[in-house]
Amino acid sequence: MNQQIDDLRNQAVASLKTIASSDELNSWRVRYLGKKSSLMAVLKGLGELPAEERRAVGGQANQLKKELEALLKEKEEALAAVSNLSTGGTDVDITLPGRPANLGKLHPMTLVLHELGEIFASMGFEIVEGPEVEWDYYNFEALNIPKEHPARDSMQTFWVDAPPGENGWEMLLRTHTSPMQIRVMEKQKPPLRIVVPGRVFRYEATDATHIPMFHQIEGLAIDKGITMADLKGTLYEFSRRFFGTDRRVRFRCDFFPFVEPGVEMAVECGVCKGEGCRLCGQSGWIEILGAGMVHPRVLEAGGIDPDVYSGFAFGMGVERIPLLRYGIDDIRLFYSSDLRFLRQF
């Protein structure tokens, strides 16, 4: 008898595990707890047993009945919870496949700035940032562009209507990242190697190639014995890493008041491979940055002795780079917040 009750328990528990609907559960209830179930038969037959056995079997059978009733109740509740969820009874339907999370992306300009930063960081340059609202002293004066210098005209400036600073300095939105050359020199003594990514502002009419806010990345390296060879080596290496080893690079003389000598660097047009096309204005080359050996007056303005130290600097327009890489013909797309454009990067 003992064995029979144990078998019954095992069977009932095993079959309960496979049940997934309330209909099935009802059949289970009839089968194991119903009037015609084996368990009921045992209970009904108790009267015919000798007194000794009756107590033992009765105890076991009643114990099993209680157990099965408890399991039934538990299962009923579990089924009710699932059906509640799948019929919208609560906020979460656990039977639906999950909704894919909507992942955002970094803006193409941010991606390019990160990539540039990584390349220069791997060459030992530290990444620093500076103020977008500047004094004309840092933006012009200390960079060897005094008040009446014509170079000021080429940088249409947003002046800020604010009380003058130290020594009557006027406030402006920086027109390039070069002012950070001076700020870094004031604080840090050579040897130093830095790059400065950031926004710059020019009071210019907007068209396919001009916007009043764009990005530059400035570079500065100062130490004893730095030469033009260091400048060229660094920028060649940058070009190889960024544009690939097969792109030719060209340096030509250029003028910037804060360097002497000054150069401009161009890379071979990636679209026509130097043949000449619409993108490069038929020249086969695309200018990407200005550079040069830091002018002695600039070193002096930064508190560095030009007889002991020398350095090179460069400044690159960052928007140009994705324009060239992806053949985009309108710079305004980057800032029009059109997700159809931005999602492509």
Interface positions with ligand DAH (CB under 6 A)? 176, 178, 218, 256, 259, 290-292, 313-315
Look at residues 240, 324, 314 and name the one whose alpha carbon lies nearest to residue 280.
324
**Given the complex with ligand DAH, which of 33 and 228 has the nearer CB atom?**
228
Distance CA 221, CA 228 (A): 11
**Given the complex with ligand DAH, which of 61 and 313 has the nearer CB atom?**
313
Residue 81's CB is within 10 A of a number of other CB atoms, namely: 13
Q: Two tokens at 89?
A: 């009874």
**Given the complex with ligand DAH, which of 72 and 288 has the nearer CB atom?**
288
CB of 176 to ligand DAH, least distance (A): 3
Give the residue closest to ligand DAH by C-beta.
Answer: 315
**Given the complex with ligand DAH, which of 75 and 295 has the nearer CB atom?**
295
CB of 111 to ligand DAH, least distance (A): 22
CB of 219 to ligand DAH, least distance (A): 7
Question: Which residue type, as a one-letter code, is found at position 321?
Answer: I
**Given the complex with ligand DAH, which of 108 and 292 has the nearer CB atom?**
292
CB of 314 to ligand DAH, least distance (A): 5
CB of 144 to ligand DAH, least distance (A): 11
First to last CA, the chain: 75
Look at residues 278, 291, 274, 132 and name the one whose alpha carbon lies nearest to residue 208.
278
Distance CA 122, CA 336 (A): 33
- How is the chain split among helix, strand and coil, in percent rounded to 5? 45, 20, 35
Q: What would the DSSP string read from start to end of 38-95?
A: HHHHHHHGGGGS-HHHHHHHHHHHHHHHHHHHHHHHHHHHHHHHHHHHHTTSSS--TT
CB of 326 to ligand DAH, least distance (A): 23
CB of 337 to ligand DAH, least distance (A): 26
**Given the complex with ligand DAH, which of 120 and 314 has the nearer CB atom?**
314
Look at residues 190, 230, 246 and name the one whose alpha carbon lies nearest to residue 314.
230
**Given the complex with ligand DAH, which of 37 and 144 has the nearer CB atom?**
144
